[in-house]
Amino acid sequence: MSVPSTPPPPPGPDSRRSRFAEKLLPGGTEPDPRFTLANERTFLAWIRTSLALLAGGIAVEAFTTDVFPEPIRRGLSVLLLLLGMLLSAGSAVRWLRVEASLRSNRPLPLPLIGPLLAAGCAVAAAVVIAVVVLA
Amino acid sequence: MDENPATAPLPGDGPLDGDPGLQPERTALAWGRTVLTLIAASAMSLRWIPDQGPFVLAMFGLTVATGTGIYATQRRRYRRSVEGIRAGHLTPDTAAVFWTAGACVVLGALGVCLVLS
């Protein structure tokens, strides 16, 4: 993303912010609006990723009755649902941390939910492979 | 003065959102895609209606209500982004972000309850 061309907003507390926002994101100044919107879209991309995992978890339980034995099916479904829940909560936390970094002009935090997603998907895939190979 | 015709301001009031990057439009579309994914994900649970009718309908109702809320505020959201970019100042939509993430966590929790019941 290019360097913002708009002038920085004036410092100081802003009466237009809600008390909720004031409490969660204290201090700093409002960043370039385009960065705030980009952060929001990144959050939404993470949320859609977590929704895909939730949908996968629901689908495994709902549609694979004849494919997987019951304990495997339930385990896989719960694993995907828990991963989706963790990722949903984590994406909100990440959104907040990025927004706080933008407000105080600090470097952006590393996405901890990235490794979480990779590890969770690897475990789920390993379970499916094991079931297919051992079946 | 911007000499590039692709990025030069339009005559009159300027481009619709004053932003050649179309950020308000992309953000509104991202919200729309998220609503569709949310509804699609929870619609899969409708498969359980014969066994767990009321529970599944409550779960589906939560996501439909969330999706309706997001769609109903799309125009307001777009306008807010446009005005924010014009003013160089935009307050983050904290409530929408946390409501959406919360709905996903609840959807997952209800799903786990359904699977283990």
Q: What pLDDT tens digit does each residue of chain A (135 aa) get?
A: 455 555 554 444 455 667 777 778 877 788 888 899 999 999 999 999 999 999 999 999 888 888 888 888 899 999 999 999 999 999 999 999 999 999 888 888 888 898 999 999 999 999 889 888 887
Gap between the Cα atoms of A89 and A127, Å rounded: 24
Whole-model pTM: value is 0.82
Residue type (1 letter), A116: L
Residue type (1 letter), A115: P
Instruction: Give a yes or no: residue B17 inside a domain.
Output: no
Picking from A33, A88, A92, the nearest residue to B84 by CB comes out as A33
SS3 A112: coil
Instruction: Give a yes or no: residue A16 inside a domain.
Output: no
CB contact under 8 Å between A91 and B101, yes or no, is yes
CB contact under 8 Å between B101 and A92, yes or no, is yes
Q: How many alpha carbons lie under 13 Å from residue A4 in its C-beta half-sphere?
A: 17
Instruction: Give a yes or no: residue B39 inside a domain.
Output: yes
Instruction: Give a yes or no: residue A24 inside a domain.
Output: no
Sign of CA dihedral B68, B69, B73, B77: negative
For chain A, what is the domain count? 1
Instruction: Give a yes or no: residue B52 inside a domain.
Output: yes
The range of the structural domain enclosing residue A56 comes to: 32-134
Instruction: Give a yes or no: residue B67 inside a domain.
Output: yes
Picking from B34, B45, B116, the nearest residue to A48 by CB comes out as B34
Instruction: Give a yes or no: residue A27 inside a domain.
Output: no
> Cβ distance B64 to B39 under 8 Å?
yes
Q: Tokens in use for B6? A: 């692709």
> Cβ distance B58 to B68 under 8 Å?
no
- DSSP codes, A10-41: PPS--TTS-HHHHHHS-SS----HHHHHHHHH
For chain B, what is the domain count? 1
Q: Is the ipTM of this complex over 0.85?
A: no
Instruction: Give a yes or no: residue B43 inside a domain.
Output: yes
| Angle formed by the axes of helices A33-63 and A113-134, nearest 10° | 20
Instruction: Give a yes or no: residue B97 inside a domain.
Output: yes
The range of the structural domain enclosing residue B39 comes to: 23-116
